[in-house]
Amino acid sequence: MVLKYLYNIVFVFFVMIFSNNLHSQDQLNFSDLNDKFTEANNLYNDSKYEKSIELYYQILDSGFHSAELYYNLGNSFYKLNDIANSILFYEKSIKLNSNDKDAINNLKMVNNAIIDDITKIPEPFIESQLNRISNILSFSVWGHISIILSFLFLVLFVLYFFSKEPNFKRASFTFLFVLFILIGTILKISFHAFEKNYLEKYAVIFSSKIEIKADPNERSENLLTLHLGTKVRIIDNFNNDWVKIKLVNGQEGWIKKNQIKII
């Protein structure tokens, strides 16, 4: 039973980690991309922000994505006073690298320019601690740690099972118990990080002013008004035209899908 449980853990993490890393990047000419990235950075330094954005987008169209690329796009759009796009790409950068202080600070600065000032509901203590700990490392790193510990548990369990030495069995049982607790804790952190970064969907409003509806139709009651650059969480879809959103203060409502861009 324990062996089957460990096998399932390892299998799930291998699938999640490697499926997340399967990109078309192995087919790209990294030398050309690096030259194009350098050229775009030089254009940015020369204050030619529109041209730098064109090259950054060409890199994205090639299938390459990175926190640095999104960060530079955020900076470029900020220089053009395009608040919505700068927020979008800073958020994308932080999604790939949650510990990038420059991106985090720039995002805070740009958010000061948006109209909507929505008071966030305080997170429960456990939720806030899980967020803080899971952001220390990326999801894939947490997954690798879980895999390593699971293999270690498996090896130690086999040694414990076949050992005839009482002292070794007592010591190994203690280590197995500690490893079991540790693996369970890291699995909880890993799945939390996976949920926050890959299952939960967020978007940025790209209309200057929109009405949040009580139901997914134009004749529905207006609940509140939101403006350009506000970040929302997507919790439901309807007919590919409407999405249900949730704000940080807990309010929910429906908006047209063409009024937002997914982070």
Q: What is the spatial distance between Cα 157 and Cα 151, in angstroms, rounded to a whole number?
A: 10
Residues 6+ apart with CB under 8 A from 123: 131
Look at residues 173, 199, 225 and tell me which one is the last residue of a structural domain.
Answer: 199
What's the pLDDT at 190?
Answer: 87
Contact (CB, 8 A) for 225 and 115: no
Residues 6+ apart with CB under 8 A from 118: 230, 247, 248, 249
Position 245 confidence tier, pLDDT thresholds 50, 70, 90: very high
Q: Name the residue among 117, 109, 42 with its Cα closest to residue 74.
A: 109
**Residue 64, domain member (yes or no):** yes
Give strand pairing partners of 226.
210
State the residue for tokens 């990038």.
100
Buried b vs exposed e over 109-140: b needs ≥16 C-beta within 10 Å? ebbeebebebeeeeeeeeeeebeebbeebbbb
**Residue 5, domain member (yes or no):** no
The model's pLDDT over 189-229, given as tens digits with 9 standing for 90+, comes to: 988 888 877 788 999 999 999 999 999 999 999 999 999 99
Look at residues 148, 182, 199 and tell me which one is the last residue of a structural domain.
Answer: 199
User: Both 160 and 210 in a single domain?
Assistant: no
User: Both 144 and 82 in a single domain?
Assistant: no
SS3 readout for 204-227: EECCCEEEEECCCCCCCCEEEEEE
**For the residues of 25-80, what is the DSSP string, one character each?**
GGGS-HHHHHHHHHHHHHHHHTT-HHHHHHHHHHHHHTT---HHHHHHHHHHHHHT
User: Both 39 and 79 in a single domain?
Assistant: yes
Position 29 confidence tier, pLDDT thresholds 50, 70, 90: low
Q: What is the spatial distance between Cα 48 and Cα 30, in angstroms, rounded to a whole number?
A: 24
The rounded mean pLDDT for the chain is 86
> Average of pLDDT values for 8-18?
47
CATH number, residue 39: 1.25.40.10
Residue range(s) defining the domain that contains residue 142: 124-199
Q: Is the pLDDT of residue 34 over 60?
A: yes
Q: What is the spatial distance between Cα 256 and Cα 210, in angstroms, rounded to a whole number?
A: 9
Q: What is the spatial distance between Cα 4 and Cα 94, in angstroms, rounded to a whole number?
A: 36
Q: What is the spatial distance between Cα 127 and Cα 31, in angstroms, rounded to a whole number?
A: 43
**Residue 215, domain member (yes or no):** yes
